Amino acid sequence: CNNFCSYCIVPYVRGRERSRDPQCVLEEVRDLVEHGYKDITLLGQNVNSYGNDLDISYDFADLLSDIDKIPGEYRIRFMTSHPKDATRKLFDTMARCTHVAKQLHLPVQSGSNRILSEMNRRYTREKYLGLVEDIRAAVDGVELTTDIIVGFPGETEEDFEETLALVRQVGFSAAYTFMYSPRLGTRAAEMENQVPEEVKKDRLLRLNACSAEQLKVGNQKYIGQEGTVLVEGCDRREKAPMAYGKLTNFKMVYFPGDAGLIGSMRHVRITGIQNNSLIGELVE
């Protein structure tokens, strides 16, 4: 990674960004699809800067477009996208490509501009919210997930409340939340204004309660909608077996069905909500 966020050890231990040859990635995806793999994830610390170090003019959106041309029944996901490098071109490509999942993991880390600057994230709260608006306008039904750190050195109650307000405003379908913990050798570990553990714990609990509430509200809108589930497994703990899998936007759906459905794509109608998942019924 080339970014050097002030809390992160990755750039020191993993070195600089390197983009794999596009033909090599395309070959690998083609091979996976031919072998029947249906859920393929492109993984990098910052996939949005893919191509910056290539000799040709070719970026991550170009790679997604080329992968999408590979025929077959499969989905492509990717992570992680750094907000500073997310582009309108990427969002338009996601909207256009039929194999690309309608889900974006976009780590915000904090809702406070002061803390974002101390973290060396190189975007503002306003820039982040602008990206959210852009992707929702471009990609119909997209769901957003994020990462958030609470208790970064110097984070005040006001800074934290800005994070809570951002979470309420965006309505993420999942937030992976962490208490800040110092990594030896990073700039943030040397900062003097470390936040006490009990304050971090309290903020984490409040943030998790807030994001759970948003998830509940967000799930309501699915009742009555239809979509395609890639069936991943079968839960036999209920009276009747329940097949489960994800919609293209990563929402988990359970519906009556047996293990014979695993690996297939099924059209379902959403009929209810249970915990953090959706409940549905087979349409075909």
Q: Amino acid identity of 9?
A: I
What's the CA gap between 58 and 62, in Å, rounded? 6
For ligand SF4, the binding residues in 175-204 under the rule CB under 6 A are none
Q: How far is the CB of 45 from ligand SF4 (least distance, A)?
A: 4
Residue 253 and residue 261 in contact, taking contact as beta carbons nearer than 8 Å: no
- Whose Cβ is closer to ligand SF4: residue 123's or residue 254's? 123
Which stretch, 3-11, 35-43, 63-71, 275-283, contacts ligand SF4 (CB under 6 A)? Answer: 3-11
Q: Which of 45, 208 has the CB closer to ligand SF4?
A: 45
We find the least distance from the C-beta atom of residue 183 to ligand SF4, in angstroms, to be 10
Closest approach of ligand SF4 to the CB of residue 15, in Å:
11
Among 39, 45, 68, 265, binds ligand SF4 (CB under 6 A): 45
φ and ψ of 250, to 5 deg: 80, 10
Task: Please report whether residue 105 would count as binding ligand SF4 according to CB under 6 A.
Answer: no
Residue 136 identity (one-letter amino acid) = R
> Could you report how far apart the first and last alpha carbons of the chain are, in Å?
45
* CB of 251 closer than 8 Å to CB of 173: yes
Q: Given the rule CB under 6 A, which of 4-12, 58-66, 150-158, 269-277 is the region that contacts ligand SF4? A: 4-12
Asked if 5 interacts with ligand SF4 (CB under 6 A), we say yes
- What part of residues 82-101 is at the interface with ligand SF4 (CB under 6 A)? 82
Q: Near ligand SF4 by CB under 6 A, which window of 2-10, 212-220, 240-248, 264-272?
A: 2-10
Q: How does DSSP classify residue 261?
A: G
CA separation for the pair 104, 144 (Å, rounded): 5
How do beta strands 265-274 and 226-235 pair?
antiparallel
Q: Does 3 bind ligand SF4 (CB under 6 A)?
A: yes
**Site for ligand SF4 contains 249 (CB under 6 A):** no
SS3 73: coil
> Residue 217: how many CB atoms within 10 A of its CB?
11
Whose CA is closest to 90, among 51, 124, 48?
A: 48
Q: Point out which span in 7-15, 36-44, 178-186, 241-249 binds ligand SF4 (CB under 6 A).
A: 7-15
Residue 51 lies near ligand SF4 (rule: CB under 6 A): no
> Interface with ligand SF4 includes 141 (CB under 6 A)?
no
Contact 62, 25 (CB under 8 A): no
Q: Which residue has the tokens 């937030």?
A: 175
* Bridge partners (DSSP) listed for residue 242: 235, 256
Q: Check residue 10 for interaction with ligand SF4 (CB under 6 A).
A: yes
Q: Is residue 8 close enough to count as binding ligand SF4 by CB under 6 A?
A: yes
Tell me which residue of 34, 57, 60, 32 sits closest to 46, measured CA to CA: 60
Residue placing its CB nearer to ligand SF4 in the complex, 10 or 165: 10
CB of 2 to ligand SF4, least distance (A): 7
| Bridge partners, 179 (sequence order) | 150
54 binds ligand SF4 (CB under 6 A): no
Residues making contact with ligand SF4 (CB under 6 A): 1, 3-5, 8, 10-11, 45-46, 82
